[in-house]
Structure 1
Protein backbone atom coordinates (compact mmCIF):
# COMPACT_ATOMS: atom_id res chain seq x y z
CA UNK A 1 0.00 0.00 0.00
CA UNK A 2 1.25 3.49 -0.84
CA UNK A 3 1.35 5.49 2.37
CA UNK A 4 2.97 8.59 0.83
CA UNK A 5 2.74 9.71 -2.78
CA UNK A 6 5.46 12.20 -3.72
CA UNK A 7 4.35 14.07 -6.83
CA UNK A 8 6.59 16.23 -9.01
CA UNK A 9 4.27 18.47 -11.05
CA UNK A 10 5.87 19.11 -14.44
CA UNK A 11 3.74 21.34 -16.64
CA UNK A 12 4.92 22.05 -20.17
CA UNK A 13 3.64 25.62 -20.36
CA UNK A 14 5.68 28.39 -18.75
CA UNK A 15 5.60 31.97 -19.97
CA UNK A 16 9.00 32.85 -18.52
CA UNK A 17 10.82 29.60 -19.30
CA UNK A 18 9.03 27.52 -21.95
CA UNK A 19 9.17 23.73 -21.48
CA UNK A 20 10.99 24.31 -18.23
CA UNK A 21 11.19 20.67 -17.00
CA UNK A 22 13.28 19.76 -20.06
CA UNK A 23 15.70 22.67 -19.87
CA UNK A 24 19.32 21.70 -19.39
CA UNK A 25 21.26 22.80 -16.33
CA UNK A 26 24.95 21.94 -16.62
CA UNK A 27 24.12 19.08 -18.98
CA UNK A 28 21.17 17.55 -17.09
CA UNK A 29 17.52 18.47 -17.37
CA UNK A 30 15.73 20.21 -14.54
CA UNK A 31 13.33 17.28 -14.28
CA UNK A 32 16.14 14.73 -14.18
CA UNK A 33 17.76 16.64 -11.33
CA UNK A 34 14.51 16.85 -9.36
CA UNK A 35 13.81 13.14 -9.84
CA UNK A 36 17.35 12.25 -8.70
CA UNK A 37 17.00 14.37 -5.55
CA UNK A 38 13.58 12.89 -4.74
CA UNK A 39 14.74 9.33 -5.36
CA UNK A 40 17.68 9.77 -2.98
CA UNK A 41 15.40 11.39 -0.39
CA UNK A 42 12.87 8.55 -0.48
CA UNK A 43 15.33 5.64 -0.68
CA UNK A 44 14.78 4.72 2.97
CA UNK A 45 11.10 5.68 3.25
CA UNK A 46 8.83 2.62 3.34
CA UNK A 47 5.59 2.70 1.36
CA UNK A 48 6.55 5.87 -0.53
CA UNK A 49 5.98 6.21 -4.27
CA UNK A 50 7.51 8.84 -6.55
CA UNK A 51 5.53 10.10 -9.53
CA UNK A 52 5.81 12.85 -12.15
CA UNK A 53 2.46 14.47 -13.01
CA UNK A 54 2.48 16.21 -16.36
CA UNK A 55 0.33 17.31 -19.29
CA UNK A 56 2.97 16.59 -21.93
CA UNK A 57 3.90 13.30 -23.63
CA UNK A 58 7.56 14.25 -24.08
CA UNK A 59 7.94 15.16 -20.40
CA UNK A 60 6.24 11.90 -19.40
CA UNK A 61 8.60 9.92 -21.65
CA UNK A 62 11.61 11.75 -20.21
CA UNK A 63 10.49 10.93 -16.65
CA UNK A 64 10.07 7.26 -17.51
CA UNK A 65 13.48 7.20 -19.19
CA UNK A 66 14.88 8.50 -15.90
CA UNK A 67 13.24 5.56 -14.11
CA UNK A 68 10.28 7.45 -12.63
CA UNK A 69 6.59 6.70 -13.09
CA UNK A 70 4.56 9.39 -14.86
CA UNK A 71 0.86 10.23 -14.88
CA UNK A 72 -0.89 12.29 -17.54
CA UNK A 73 -3.03 15.06 -16.06
CA UNK A 74 -5.27 17.74 -17.58
CA UNK A 75 -3.42 20.72 -19.08
CA UNK A 76 -6.13 23.00 -17.67
CA UNK A 77 -4.91 22.37 -14.10
CA UNK A 78 -3.20 25.58 -13.10
CA UNK A 79 -1.38 24.70 -9.86
CA UNK A 80 1.06 22.11 -8.64
CA UNK A 81 -1.25 21.15 -5.77
CA UNK A 82 -4.10 20.58 -8.21
CA UNK A 83 -1.90 18.42 -10.41
CA UNK A 84 -0.71 16.45 -7.35
CA UNK A 85 -4.31 15.72 -6.33
CA UNK A 86 -5.22 14.71 -9.87
CA UNK A 87 -2.31 12.26 -9.90
CA UNK A 88 -3.39 10.84 -6.54
CA UNK A 89 -6.88 10.26 -7.87
CA UNK A 90 -5.41 8.24 -10.74
CA UNK A 91 -3.68 5.86 -8.31
CA UNK A 92 -5.09 2.37 -7.92
CA UNK A 93 -5.36 2.90 -4.15
CA UNK A 94 -5.61 6.37 -2.57
CA UNK A 95 -2.47 7.40 -0.67
CA UNK A 96 -2.76 8.61 2.90
CA UNK A 97 -0.34 11.48 2.34
CA UNK A 98 0.50 13.53 -0.76
CA UNK A 99 3.66 15.61 -1.10
CA UNK A 100 3.80 18.34 -3.74
CA UNK A 101 7.50 18.48 -4.61
CA UNK A 102 7.98 21.49 -6.85
CA UNK A 103 9.83 20.55 -10.00
CA UNK A 104 11.86 23.76 -10.23
CA UNK A 105 13.76 23.37 -6.94
CA UNK A 106 16.02 20.36 -7.49
CA UNK A 107 18.67 21.15 -4.90
CA UNK A 108 16.72 20.82 -1.67
CA UNK A 109 18.48 18.78 1.04
CA UNK A 110 17.30 15.18 1.05
CA UNK A 111 16.35 15.33 4.74
CA UNK A 112 13.73 18.01 4.05
CA UNK A 113 11.35 15.63 2.30
CA UNK A 114 11.68 13.00 5.04
CA UNK A 115 11.03 15.64 7.72
CA UNK A 116 7.79 16.72 6.05
CA UNK A 117 6.56 13.13 5.77
CA UNK A 118 7.48 12.51 9.43
CA UNK A 119 5.35 15.48 10.48
CA UNK A 120 2.38 14.06 8.57
CA UNK A 121 2.86 10.67 10.20
CA UNK A 122 2.85 12.41 13.59
CA UNK A 123 -0.58 13.96 12.94
CA UNK A 124 -0.08 17.12 10.87
CA UNK A 125 -2.81 17.87 8.32
CA UNK A 126 -0.42 19.96 6.25
CA UNK A 127 3.35 20.24 6.72
CA UNK A 128 5.91 22.52 5.10
CA UNK A 129 9.58 23.32 5.85
CA UNK A 130 11.03 26.59 7.11
CA UNK A 131 14.56 27.86 7.67
CA UNK A 132 15.64 30.13 10.53
CA UNK A 133 17.57 33.06 9.03
CA UNK A 134 20.71 34.29 10.68
CA UNK A 135 21.37 38.01 10.45
CA UNK A 136 23.52 37.89 7.27
CA UNK A 137 20.85 35.77 5.58
CA UNK A 138 18.16 38.25 6.62
CA UNK A 139 20.27 41.13 5.28
CA UNK A 140 20.66 39.25 1.97
CA UNK A 141 16.91 38.65 1.74
CA UNK A 142 16.19 42.32 2.37
CA UNK A 143 18.65 43.28 -0.34
CA UNK A 144 17.11 40.77 -2.76
CA UNK A 145 13.66 42.20 -2.16
CA UNK A 146 14.77 45.67 -3.21
CA UNK A 147 15.06 44.17 -6.70
CA UNK A 148 12.43 41.38 -6.58
CA UNK A 149 9.87 42.26 -3.90
CA UNK A 150 7.66 39.24 -4.59
CA UNK A 151 10.49 36.69 -4.56
CA UNK A 152 11.00 34.90 -1.27
CA UNK A 153 8.35 34.07 1.35
CA UNK A 154 8.60 34.41 5.11
CA UNK A 155 6.56 32.76 7.84
CA UNK A 156 5.39 33.80 11.30
CA UNK A 157 4.99 30.71 13.46
CA UNK A 158 3.80 29.89 16.95
CA UNK A 159 6.09 28.24 19.53
CA UNK A 160 4.42 24.88 18.82
CA UNK A 161 5.29 25.15 15.11
CA UNK A 162 1.86 26.16 13.79
CA UNK A 163 2.06 28.62 10.94
CA UNK A 164 0.37 31.89 11.87
CA UNK A 165 0.92 33.62 8.53
CA UNK A 166 2.98 33.65 5.36
CA UNK A 167 3.90 36.78 3.44
CA UNK A 168 5.93 38.13 0.57
CA UNK A 169 6.83 40.89 3.01
CA UNK A 170 9.44 40.10 5.63
CA UNK A 171 7.60 39.25 8.83
CA UNK A 172 7.66 39.93 11.73
CA UNK A 173 8.74 43.56 11.91
CA UNK A 174 11.59 43.84 14.42
CA UNK A 175 11.74 46.53 17.11
CA UNK A 176 15.11 47.22 18.75
CA UNK A 177 16.85 45.19 16.09
CA UNK A 178 20.37 46.30 16.91
CA UNK A 179 20.06 45.09 20.49
CA UNK A 180 18.65 41.78 19.28
CA UNK A 181 21.53 41.36 16.84
CA UNK A 182 23.95 41.67 19.74
CA UNK A 183 22.13 39.13 21.89
CA UNK A 184 21.49 36.19 19.54
CA UNK A 185 22.92 34.75 16.30
CA UNK A 186 19.56 34.03 14.67
CA UNK A 187 17.00 36.59 13.58
CA UNK A 188 13.31 35.98 14.40
CA UNK A 189 12.54 35.61 10.68
CA UNK A 190 11.76 32.22 9.13
CA UNK A 191 12.00 31.69 5.40
CA UNK A 192 9.52 29.32 3.83
CA UNK A 193 10.55 26.54 1.45
CA UNK A 194 7.89 25.75 -1.14
CA UNK A 195 7.39 22.06 -0.46
CA UNK A 196 4.05 20.87 0.92
CA UNK A 197 2.82 17.63 2.41
CA UNK A 198 -0.92 17.07 2.87
CA UNK A 199 -3.27 14.44 4.12
CA UNK A 200 -5.54 13.39 1.28
CA UNK A 201 -8.48 14.95 3.12
CA UNK A 202 -6.77 18.33 3.60
CA UNK A 203 -5.66 18.55 -0.03
CA UNK A 204 -9.11 17.55 -1.28
CA UNK A 205 -10.76 20.27 0.81
CA UNK A 206 -8.18 22.82 -0.31
CA UNK A 207 -8.68 22.05 -3.98
CA UNK A 208 -12.48 22.11 -3.68
CA UNK A 209 -12.41 25.72 -2.42
CA UNK A 210 -11.90 28.70 -4.74
CA UNK A 211 -8.97 31.06 -4.15
CA UNK A 212 -9.51 33.44 -1.24
CA UNK A 213 -9.06 37.20 -1.18
CA UNK A 214 -5.91 37.26 0.94
CA UNK A 215 -4.40 34.40 -1.04
CA UNK A 216 -4.92 36.41 -4.21
CA UNK A 217 -3.44 39.59 -2.74
CA UNK A 218 -0.23 37.90 -1.56
CA UNK A 219 -0.06 35.36 -4.37
CA UNK A 220 0.39 32.57 -1.81
CA UNK A 221 -1.97 29.63 -2.08
CA UNK A 222 -1.14 28.32 1.41
CA UNK A 223 -3.06 31.29 2.83
CA UNK A 224 -6.24 29.59 1.61
CA UNK A 225 -5.55 26.78 4.05
CA UNK A 226 -5.22 29.21 6.95
CA UNK A 227 -8.37 31.06 5.93
CA UNK A 228 -10.19 27.71 5.85
CA UNK A 229 -8.99 26.95 9.37
CA UNK A 230 -6.75 24.07 8.26
CA UNK A 231 -3.61 24.19 10.43
CA UNK A 232 -0.20 24.11 8.79
CA UNK A 233 2.68 22.56 10.71
CA UNK A 234 6.02 24.17 9.96
CA UNK A 235 9.08 21.91 10.07
CA UNK A 236 12.41 23.62 10.84
CA UNK A 237 15.22 22.35 8.63
CA UNK A 238 18.88 23.41 8.38
CA UNK A 239 19.93 25.90 5.71
CA UNK A 240 21.00 24.04 2.59
CA UNK A 241 24.67 23.93 1.73
CA UNK A 242 23.80 24.34 -1.94
CA UNK A 243 21.19 27.09 -1.86
CA UNK A 244 19.15 28.20 -4.84
CA UNK A 245 15.59 29.39 -5.14
CA UNK A 246 13.15 28.26 -7.82
CA UNK A 247 14.33 28.23 -11.43
CA UNK A 248 12.03 30.44 -13.50
CA UNK A 249 14.23 32.39 -15.92
CA UNK A 250 17.35 32.14 -18.06
CA UNK A 251 19.13 34.19 -15.39
CA UNK A 252 18.21 31.57 -12.78
CA UNK A 253 19.77 28.85 -14.93
CA UNK A 254 22.95 30.88 -15.31
CA UNK A 255 23.06 31.47 -11.54
CA UNK A 256 22.67 27.79 -10.72
CA UNK A 257 25.26 26.75 -13.30
CA UNK A 258 27.69 29.19 -11.68
CA UNK A 259 26.98 27.59 -8.28
CA UNK A 260 27.63 24.13 -9.75
CA UNK A 261 30.90 25.35 -11.26
CA UNK A 262 31.98 26.74 -7.88
CA UNK A 263 30.74 24.07 -5.48
CA UNK A 264 30.44 20.93 -7.60
CA UNK A 265 27.32 19.17 -8.85
CA UNK A 266 25.01 18.03 -6.01
CA UNK A 267 22.85 15.81 -8.23
CA UNK A 268 23.72 12.14 -7.65
Structure 2
Protein backbone atom coordinates (compact mmCIF):
# COMPACT_ATOMS: atom_id res chain seq x y z
CA UNK A 1 0.00 0.00 0.00
CA UNK A 2 1.85 3.09 -1.27
CA UNK A 3 1.64 6.29 0.78
CA UNK A 4 2.55 9.65 -0.75
CA UNK A 5 3.00 12.64 1.57
CA UNK A 6 2.49 16.02 -0.07
CA UNK A 7 3.53 19.32 1.51
CA UNK A 8 1.74 22.11 -0.40
CA UNK A 9 3.75 25.35 -0.49
CA UNK A 10 2.92 28.60 -2.25
CA UNK A 11 4.95 31.78 -2.27
CA UNK A 12 2.10 34.29 -2.41
CA UNK A 13 0.73 34.22 1.14
CA UNK A 14 -1.29 37.39 1.80
CA UNK A 15 -0.14 37.82 5.39
CA UNK A 16 3.39 36.45 4.90
CA UNK A 17 4.71 36.47 1.30
CA UNK A 18 7.45 33.91 0.77
CA UNK A 19 6.53 32.12 3.99
CA UNK A 20 7.81 28.64 2.99
CA UNK A 21 11.32 30.10 2.61
CA UNK A 22 11.29 31.96 5.94
CA UNK A 23 14.45 31.25 7.92
CA UNK A 24 13.66 29.49 11.17
CA UNK A 25 16.67 28.83 13.39
CA UNK A 26 18.96 28.49 10.40
CA UNK A 27 16.75 26.51 8.04
CA UNK A 28 13.93 27.36 5.63
CA UNK A 29 10.55 26.50 7.11
CA UNK A 30 9.71 24.19 4.21
CA UNK A 31 12.87 22.18 4.89
CA UNK A 32 11.83 21.64 8.49
CA UNK A 33 8.36 20.46 7.53
CA UNK A 34 9.74 18.18 4.82
CA UNK A 35 12.29 16.61 7.20
CA UNK A 36 9.61 15.95 9.83
CA UNK A 37 7.46 14.33 7.13
CA UNK A 38 10.25 12.12 5.82
CA UNK A 39 10.94 10.95 9.38
CA UNK A 40 7.31 9.90 9.94
CA UNK A 41 6.22 6.26 10.04
CA UNK A 42 4.17 4.93 7.16
CA UNK A 43 5.41 7.41 4.52
CA UNK A 44 6.85 5.91 1.34
CA UNK A 45 7.56 9.15 -0.53
CA UNK A 46 7.43 12.81 0.47
CA UNK A 47 7.28 15.75 -1.94
CA UNK A 48 6.80 19.48 -1.79
CA UNK A 49 4.08 20.64 -4.20
CA UNK A 50 4.47 24.22 -5.37
CA UNK A 51 3.82 26.58 -8.27
CA UNK A 52 6.92 28.70 -7.64
CA UNK A 53 10.42 27.90 -8.92
CA UNK A 54 12.02 29.70 -5.97
CA UNK A 55 10.46 27.20 -3.59
CA UNK A 56 11.19 24.25 -5.88
CA UNK A 57 14.86 25.25 -6.15
CA UNK A 58 15.19 25.67 -2.39
CA UNK A 59 13.71 22.20 -1.85
CA UNK A 60 16.14 20.64 -4.32
CA UNK A 61 19.04 22.50 -2.69
CA UNK A 62 18.43 20.78 0.66
CA UNK A 63 17.95 17.38 -1.00
CA UNK A 64 14.17 17.23 -1.07
CA UNK A 65 11.84 16.42 -3.93
CA UNK A 66 9.72 19.18 -5.46
CA UNK A 67 6.77 18.80 -7.84
CA UNK A 68 5.49 21.71 -9.90
CA UNK A 69 1.72 22.12 -9.77
CA UNK A 70 -0.62 24.65 -11.43
CA UNK A 71 -0.96 28.16 -10.08
CA UNK A 72 -4.72 27.72 -10.44
CA UNK A 73 -4.89 25.38 -7.42
CA UNK A 74 -7.15 27.14 -4.92
CA UNK A 75 -6.07 25.28 -1.81
CA UNK A 76 -3.79 22.59 -0.43
CA UNK A 77 -6.27 19.82 -1.21
CA UNK A 78 -6.30 20.65 -4.91
CA UNK A 79 -2.51 20.97 -4.91
CA UNK A 80 -2.17 17.54 -3.27
CA UNK A 81 -4.26 15.98 -6.04
CA UNK A 82 -2.27 17.85 -8.69
CA UNK A 83 0.94 16.45 -7.20
CA UNK A 84 -0.48 12.94 -7.15
CA UNK A 85 -1.40 13.20 -10.83
CA UNK A 86 1.96 14.76 -11.77
CA UNK A 87 3.68 11.74 -10.21
CA UNK A 88 1.58 9.23 -12.15
CA UNK A 89 -1.36 8.80 -9.75
CA UNK A 90 -0.11 5.49 -8.36
CA UNK A 91 -0.26 6.13 -4.61
CA UNK A 92 -3.18 4.55 -2.74
CA UNK A 93 -3.05 6.98 0.19
CA UNK A 94 -2.19 10.69 0.08
CA UNK A 95 -1.16 12.55 3.23
CA UNK A 96 -1.58 16.34 3.03
CA UNK A 97 0.87 18.00 5.44
CA UNK A 98 0.47 21.75 5.98
CA UNK A 99 3.58 23.60 4.94
CA UNK A 100 3.45 26.00 7.90
CA UNK A 101 3.03 23.32 10.57
CA UNK A 102 6.69 23.61 11.43
CA UNK A 103 6.41 22.02 14.89
CA UNK A 104 4.22 19.03 13.99
CA UNK A 105 6.18 16.00 15.29
CA UNK A 106 6.95 13.06 12.98
CA UNK A 107 4.96 10.70 15.22
CA UNK A 108 1.86 12.89 14.79
CA UNK A 109 2.26 12.92 11.01
CA UNK A 110 2.85 9.17 10.95
CA UNK A 111 -0.19 8.35 13.07
CA UNK A 112 -2.49 9.04 10.10
CA UNK A 113 -0.96 6.70 7.48
CA UNK A 114 -0.43 4.03 10.12
CA UNK A 115 -4.14 4.15 11.03
CA UNK A 116 -5.21 4.09 7.38
CA UNK A 117 -2.97 1.13 6.60
CA UNK A 118 -4.40 -0.76 9.56
CA UNK A 119 -8.04 -0.10 8.59
CA UNK A 120 -8.81 -0.14 4.89
CA UNK A 121 -12.33 1.14 5.57
CA UNK A 122 -10.99 4.59 6.48
CA UNK A 123 -11.67 6.91 3.54
CA UNK A 124 -10.23 10.03 5.17
CA UNK A 125 -8.44 10.66 8.45
CA UNK A 126 -7.06 13.55 10.48
CA UNK A 127 -5.35 13.86 13.89
CA UNK A 128 -6.52 15.65 17.02
CA UNK A 129 -4.99 16.21 20.44
CA UNK A 130 -6.76 16.50 23.79
CA UNK A 131 -6.18 19.93 25.30
CA UNK A 132 -4.82 20.11 28.84
CA UNK A 133 -6.89 22.47 31.03
CA UNK A 134 -4.29 25.26 30.99
CA UNK A 135 -3.96 25.08 27.19
CA UNK A 136 -7.73 25.12 26.77
CA UNK A 137 -8.01 28.18 29.01
CA UNK A 138 -5.47 30.09 26.90
CA UNK A 139 -7.18 28.91 23.73
CA UNK A 140 -10.54 30.21 24.94
CA UNK A 141 -8.99 33.54 25.93
CA UNK A 142 -7.49 33.91 22.46
CA UNK A 143 -10.83 33.15 20.82
CA UNK A 144 -12.59 35.64 23.06
CA UNK A 145 -10.04 38.24 21.97
CA UNK A 146 -11.01 37.68 18.34
CA UNK A 147 -8.31 35.30 17.09
CA UNK A 148 -9.47 32.95 14.34
CA UNK A 149 -6.54 30.54 14.33
CA UNK A 150 -7.05 27.07 15.75
CA UNK A 151 -9.83 24.55 15.17
CA UNK A 152 -11.62 22.15 17.50
CA UNK A 153 -13.41 18.91 16.67
CA UNK A 154 -16.05 16.66 18.19
CA UNK A 155 -16.49 13.02 17.23
CA UNK A 156 -18.65 9.99 17.98
CA UNK A 157 -17.72 6.93 20.01
CA UNK A 158 -16.18 5.33 16.93
CA UNK A 159 -13.90 8.35 16.50
CA UNK A 160 -15.74 9.56 13.40
CA UNK A 161 -15.85 13.35 13.19
CA UNK A 162 -19.20 15.00 13.88
CA UNK A 163 -18.13 18.61 13.35
CA UNK A 164 -15.11 20.92 13.12
CA UNK A 165 -15.29 24.56 14.15
CA UNK A 166 -13.25 27.71 14.58
CA UNK A 167 -15.19 28.21 17.80
CA UNK A 168 -14.53 26.05 20.86
CA UNK A 169 -16.73 22.95 20.78
CA UNK A 170 -18.44 21.43 22.64
CA UNK A 171 -19.97 24.33 24.55
CA UNK A 172 -19.23 23.59 28.21
CA UNK A 173 -22.56 24.31 29.90
CA UNK A 174 -21.70 21.69 32.52
CA UNK A 175 -17.90 21.79 32.89
CA UNK A 176 -18.11 19.48 35.90
CA UNK A 177 -18.91 16.69 33.42
CA UNK A 178 -15.23 16.72 32.47
CA UNK A 179 -15.83 16.52 28.72
CA UNK A 180 -12.49 17.30 27.05
CA UNK A 181 -11.87 19.74 24.22
CA UNK A 182 -9.94 18.34 21.27
CA UNK A 183 -7.80 20.54 19.06
CA UNK A 184 -7.75 19.56 15.42
CA UNK A 185 -4.34 19.20 13.78
CA UNK A 186 -4.47 20.42 10.18
CA UNK A 187 -3.17 17.32 8.46
CA UNK A 188 -5.24 14.96 6.31
CA UNK A 189 -5.00 11.48 4.90
CA UNK A 190 -7.13 10.43 1.92
CA UNK A 191 -7.63 7.32 -0.11
CA UNK A 192 -6.79 8.44 -3.64
CA UNK A 193 -10.36 7.96 -4.80
CA UNK A 194 -11.66 9.99 -1.84
CA UNK A 195 -9.31 12.85 -2.65
CA UNK A 196 -10.54 12.90 -6.25
CA UNK A 197 -14.16 12.88 -5.12
CA UNK A 198 -13.59 15.68 -2.63
CA UNK A 199 -11.87 17.99 -5.12
CA UNK A 200 -14.67 17.41 -7.66
CA UNK A 201 -17.34 18.56 -5.18
CA UNK A 202 -18.53 22.16 -4.97
CA UNK A 203 -17.88 24.19 -1.81
CA UNK A 204 -20.61 23.67 0.78
CA UNK A 205 -22.49 26.09 3.08
CA UNK A 206 -20.80 25.09 6.34
CA UNK A 207 -17.40 24.99 4.66
CA UNK A 208 -17.91 28.54 3.45
CA UNK A 209 -19.26 29.73 6.79
CA UNK A 210 -16.33 28.38 8.82
CA UNK A 211 -13.72 28.49 6.01
CA UNK A 212 -12.84 24.86 6.78
CA UNK A 213 -12.38 22.55 3.79
CA UNK A 214 -12.95 19.38 5.79
CA UNK A 215 -16.59 20.34 6.33
CA UNK A 216 -17.16 19.75 2.61
CA UNK A 217 -16.46 16.08 3.24
CA UNK A 218 -18.86 15.84 6.18
CA UNK A 219 -21.61 17.72 4.34
CA UNK A 220 -21.34 15.23 1.50
CA UNK A 221 -21.40 12.15 3.70
CA UNK A 222 -17.67 11.36 3.52
CA UNK A 223 -16.67 10.09 6.97
CA UNK A 224 -13.51 11.44 8.59
CA UNK A 225 -11.77 9.25 11.13
CA UNK A 226 -10.21 11.24 13.97
CA UNK A 227 -6.85 9.82 15.10
CA UNK A 228 -6.02 10.73 18.70
CA UNK A 229 -2.40 11.81 19.07
CA UNK A 230 -0.10 12.94 21.86
CA UNK A 231 2.49 15.69 21.46
CA UNK A 232 4.53 14.07 24.26
CA UNK A 233 5.15 17.37 25.99
CA UNK A 234 6.11 19.24 22.83
CA UNK A 235 4.57 22.60 22.01
CA UNK A 236 2.37 23.13 18.97
CA UNK A 237 2.61 26.32 16.92
CA UNK A 238 2.12 27.23 13.27
CA UNK A 239 3.55 30.15 11.32
CA UNK A 240 0.77 32.41 10.09
CA UNK A 241 2.55 35.76 10.28
CA UNK A 242 6.18 36.99 10.55
CA UNK A 243 5.75 37.47 14.30
CA UNK A 244 5.23 33.73 14.71
CA UNK A 245 8.81 33.02 13.62
CA UNK A 246 10.22 34.40 16.85
CA UNK A 247 7.83 32.27 18.91
CA UNK A 248 8.71 29.11 16.98
CA UNK A 249 12.44 29.77 17.31
CA UNK A 250 12.02 30.22 21.07
CA UNK A 251 10.21 26.87 21.29
CA UNK A 252 12.95 25.12 19.32
CA UNK A 253 15.63 26.68 21.54
CA UNK A 254 13.76 25.56 24.65
CA UNK A 255 12.65 22.07 23.57
CA UNK A 256 15.27 21.09 21.00
CA UNK A 257 14.95 19.89 17.43
CA UNK A 258 12.29 17.34 16.48
CA UNK A 259 14.61 15.81 13.90
CA UNK A 260 18.42 15.94 14.31
Q: TM-score, normalised by structure 2?
A: 0.94
- Cα distance in 2 for residues equivalent to 1:247 and 1:137: 18
In the TM superposition, residue 6 of structure 1 has moved relative to its aligned partner by 0.2
In the TM superposition, residue 146 of structure 1 has moved relative to its aligned partner by 2.2
**Native 8 Å contact 1:107 1:267 kept in 2:** no
Does residue 61 of structure 1 match 2:57? yes
SS across alignment from 1:229: coil
Does residue 98 of structure 1 match 2:97? no
SS across alignment from 1:203: helix
Partner of 2:166: 168
- In the TM superposition, 1:206-245 aligns within 5 A as 206-245=198-237
Partner of 1:112: 108
- Cα distance in 1 for residues equivalent to 2:86 and 2:234: 35
Change beyond 3 A, Cα 1:253–1:240: farther
**Native 8 Å contact 1:35 1:68 kept in 2:** yes
In the TM superposition, residue 58 of structure 1 has moved relative to its aligned partner by 1.6
Per-residue CA shift, 1:153-181, capped at 9, x if unaligned? Answer: 0001001100000001111112321x335
- In the TM superposition, 1:47-86 aligns within 5 A as 48-86=44-82
The aligned length equals 258
SS across alignment from 1:191: strand
In the TM superposition, residue 148 of structure 1 has moved relative to its aligned partner by 3.9
Partner of 2:177: 180
Partner of 2:192: 200
- Cα distance in 2 for residues equivalent to 1:4 and 1:127: 13
Per-residue CA shift, 1:223-261, capped at 9, x if unaligned? Answer: 000001000000000135332332011111111122223
Does residue 256 of structure 1 match 2:248? yes
**Could you tell which deviates more after superposition, 255-264 or 211-220?**
255-264
SS across alignment from 1:99: strand
**Could you tell which deviates more after superposition, 116-125 or 221-230?**
116-125
Q: TM-score, normalised by structure 1?
A: 0.91
In the TM superposition, residue 81 of structure 1 has moved relative to its aligned partner by 0.8
In the TM superposition, residue 263 of structure 1 has moved relative to its aligned partner by 2.6
Partner of 1:14: 13
